[in-house]
Amino acid sequence: MSELPPQAGRAVAVILAAGKSTRMKSRLPKAVHPICGKPMAWHVVAACRRAGVSDVVVVVGHQGQSVVDALGPTVAYAEQRQQLGTGHALMCAAPILPPDAGLLLVLPADTPLISHTELATLMQFHREQNSHATLLTAILDDPSHYGRVVRAPDGSVTRIVEAKDADADALAIREINSSIYCFAAEEALRALRHVKPNNAQGEYYLTDVIELLGKSGGRVHAVPSSDPTAVLGINHRAELAKVEALMRSRILRGLMLAGVTVTDPSSTYVDADVSVGADAVLRPGTHLLGATTVGEECTIGPCTVISNSTVGAGASVELSRVADSTIGEGASVGPYACVLNGSRVESGAVVGPFRQLDGAIVGPNA
């Protein structure tokens, strides 16, 4: 294989979201199942964007329109009409990739815990090594269904063995493939044309590109993730719950490090798009959902649900529900109140126990 020129071309991400995911036992495609208030695939797109990848292609297939509706027009879409494997998915995306793509980031839609820092580190290492391919891997105590990474004595990667095709020696390997890759775009797409469905599933494996590149003299490297949970995939609802709990913990830790008091993280739920100001206090049973903003020095809870609303600085909401409404600075709501459907509680106003506002306005200090 010829020496690669420095990979200074455009970075493009391809997110694989076409699978049927029968193990979810759902009418919804897996990629749109919500995690902390956003579709699973949204978190992967956001990580790519924060890592500096502006061009994102999402491969859709099973109930693809649901994925398009969930993610909107900010990404490009390629259709995989038949689900014939991950390699086939990339084949479907190839015709719409930018012609000046130099680095190709490929990742599945069901790894919502992947962070932009992990992706940035992967791409930086790939460029520094001028690799033909670089894998993001993880060392797991229980590799279970993940593909195993087989290395040569010099540490380079020779191949990836899918768990269902692995023998006993391969299954004993604890380093797993996260299914997140960096490729030199032109070389990877050239190798992809030679992939054959010679496996138990009759599918085109993207992992075969790794083996083909290695056999032809290409440089194939692997970077272990600094956080093995960041590459966890989701196959069924139990794993969905596990990943959401990890993401919720990550969100709450970020808030606490930014100066928010969370008195009981195990019973506090904050969605990915929520903003909370410093010195706010979130008491047990607080749910902050959707596009909600909570100002500084607020007290929220206990047992309070606020969705798609704004709560001004110094306000308090106790044992109440607020939806699609605005609570002004220093206002007080509850206990046992409902503020709904575009209601506005102005600065310093009080909405007392057992009151319900529906599209109403409460004036300042009322």
Inter-CA distances, 221 with 102, 190, 343, Å: 17, 19, 56
d(CA 111, CA 100): 27
Two tokens, residue 135: 């894998």
Given the residues 10, 23, 148, 321, the one annotated as active site: 23
Determine whether 23 is an active site residue.
yes
How far lies 326's CA from each of 196, 276, 346, 347, in Å? 58, 15, 8, 10
DSSP letters for 184-215 = EHHHHHHHHTT----STT----THHHHHHHHH
Q: 249: which 2 tokens?
A: 């913990």
* Count of Cβ atoms closer than 10 Å to residue 249 Cβ: 13
Cα–Cα distance measured from residue 25 to residue 323, given in angstroms and rounded to the nearest whole number: 31
Cα(193)–Cα(190) distance, rounded to whole angstroms?
6
Q: Which of 296, 288, 256 is nearest to 272 (CA)?
A: 288
> Distance (Å, rounded) from C-alpha 366 to C-alpha 188?
66
Please give the Cα distance from 102 to 315 (Å, whole number): 51
The DSSP symbol for 10 reads: E
Task: Give catalytic residue positions.
Answer: 23
